[in-house]
Amino acid sequence: MRTSTTTKAKIRIKTRMFPSTLFFITLLSLSPSLSNAEHKTPLFVFGDSLYDNGMTFYGGKNVGAHNWPYGQTYFQRAVGRYSDGRVIPDFIAENAGLPFLEPYFSPRLKDFTNGVNFASAGSCVLVELRPHTISLARQIDYFKEMVQRLKQQVGVTEANKLLSKAVYMFNVAGNDYVNLFEKNAKKNRTISNSRKKLRMRMILDNLTVHIKTIYKLGGRKFAFQKVGPLGCLPSIKYMLSYKGVCAPEPQDLAKMHNSAFVALIWKLETQLPGFKYSIYDFYTSLHLRVLYGSTYGFKESQTACCGSGPYNGDFTCQKKGFSFSVCSNPNDYLWFDSAHPTDRANQGFSDEFWSGGPDLVAPYNLQTLYAAN
């Protein structure tokens, strides 16, 4: 508690100079720093490129939105977000009254009391699938390391309070399933049901371990985004040479995962006292926008703004040495690149996650989860 000692020393000096103002100095210089941390609800973010706000920008080798045209709408430069602007955790942090979270690898990260973003592009739950990315398991390891640093920053008691009030937000497993198609599409093989079920079982068992790890470290409030409608991704349609709106096989896999995941969370709720959660039905929300784009104000909801090939589904956006096209008004588009929504679309998802009704986010929306004790 180095800071409070310094503050006290400062007060002592000032007291000698102006004894009558002691009360005011105490009020001004001592209480704000303490009550600040006390009234904060940090946000810790885990997952893949839909949530990455710079991890791979600072630490990625073969992944990361490093180049034009990423970031142009909002930041006017590429800042590591796979979007023309902000990603969902940016909007959620804003709604929660927090600044944009720092990615764990950011050189600016000194204060852990707002929370931290660990999400990294390309990340999978199953560590062996994409070894060059930061798997969920590694993100959890970084989180454990961060807990120690938070304790150094504010002391053990205060850190424990912050950890139990915090919201832990996840978008995971999409890449684990996409990977199944990548491997097999190239060989033009169908994927057996037993293989799909085995993959799902391993993902869910690993997620159980990670959720329990955070719970043991004090976490109580969890927010999950369901796996999206994978078959509607321009990248998947390109990969499978699919010509319709959404390819059925990836859709079914995402649906199978999502219902098993909800069942898992119900089970965890009965096992872990005080465990609270929000589940946002991102699958349905994104699916509806693909199907009825104009209802949501999108002129184009199937072809990506940036990329090449059918639906701009060939993931060439930002890649040096490839020719790709970029639309002139990303706000008209649902998809910025072949797998990631635009800033405008992310704003819509975030509004639903934050304050949507029980048909979209259940049993609580994030706003209610945030306010919960």
Ligand X SMILES: *[C@@H]1O[C@H](CO)[C@@H](O)[C@H](O)[C@H]1NC(C)=O
Active centre residues (catalytic): 49, 337, 340
Q: Which of residues 178-207 bind ligand X (CB under 6 A)?
A: 188, 202, 205-206
Q: Please name which of 358, 345, 334, 354 lies closest in space to residue 94, comparing C-alpha atoms.
A: 354
Q: Which of 128, 270, 320, 323 binds ligand X (CB under 6 A)?
A: 128
Q: Which two tokens stand for residue 108?
A: 């600016």
43, 98 Cβ separation under 8 angstroms: yes
Run of H or E residues at 128:
none
Kindly indicate which of the ranges 108-116, 124-132, 298-306, 338-346 contains the residues binding ligand X, using the contact rule CB under 6 A: 124-132
Q: Please name which of 166, 172, 170, 55 lies closest in space to residue 103, comparing C-alpha atoms.
A: 55
C-beta of 126: minimal distance to ligand X in Å? Answer: 4
Nearer to ligand X, 154 or 173 (CB): 173
How many residues contact ligand X, by CB under 6 A?
A: 8
Q: Please name which of 114, 121, 110 lies closest in space to residue 57, comparing C-alpha atoms.
A: 121
Q: What is the DSSP string of 72-110?
A: TTTTSS--S-SSSS--HHHHHHHHTT-PPPPBTT-TT--
C-beta of 217: minimal distance to ligand X in Å? Answer: 18
Outline where the chain has alpha helix (H).
2-17, 22-25, 31-38, 55-59, 88-95, 136-154, 156-165, 174-187, 193-216, 234-239, 248-271, 282-291, 343-355, 366-371
C-beta of 174: minimal distance to ligand X in Å? Answer: 16
Per CB under 6 A, does 263 bind ligand X? no
Binding mask 331-350 for ligand X (x = CB under 6 A): --------------------
Nearer to ligand X, 40 or 210 (CB): 210
Nearer to ligand X, 66 or 212 (CB): 212
139, 124 Cβ separation under 8 angstroms: no
C-beta of 209: minimal distance to ligand X in Å? Answer: 5
Q: Is 219 helix (H, G, I), strand (E, B) or coil?
A: coil
Nearer to ligand X, 5 or 188 (CB): 188
Long-range contacts of range 263-271, CB-CB < 8 Å, 24 or more positions apart?
264/204, 264/207, 264/208, 265/222, 265/224, 268/208, 268/211, 268/212
Nearer to ligand X, 213 or 355 (CB): 213
Q: Which of residues 204-233 bind ligand X (CB under 6 A)?
A: 205-206, 209
**Residue 7 C-alpha from the chain's centroid:** 36
Binding mask 145-184 for ligand X (x = CB under 6 A): ----------------------------------------
Closest residue to ligand X: CB criterion: 205
Kindly indicate which of the ranges 23-31, 38-46, 120-128, 153-161 contains the residues binding ligand X, using the contact rule CB under 6 A: 120-128
Binding mask 70-109 for ligand X (x = CB under 6 A): ----------------------------------------
Nearer to ligand X, 209 or 263 (CB): 209
Per CB under 6 A, does 126 bind ligand X? yes
CA-to-CA dists, residue 159 to 155, 168, 279, 305, angstroms: 6, 15, 26, 43
CA distance 370 to 321: 45
276: β partners: 221
Which position has the token pair 């970031």? Answer: 71
Binding mask 21-60 for ligand X (x = CB under 6 A): ----------------------------------------
Angle at CA of residue 65, ends 79 and 245, nearest 5°: 125
Per CB under 6 A, does 127 bind ligand X? yes
Kindly indicate which of the ranges 121-129, 230-238, 253-261, 335-343 contains the residues binding ligand X, using the contact rule CB under 6 A: 121-129
Nearer to ligand X, 188 or 270 (CB): 188
Q: Which residues bind ligand X (CB under 6 A)?
A: 126-128, 188, 202, 205-206, 209
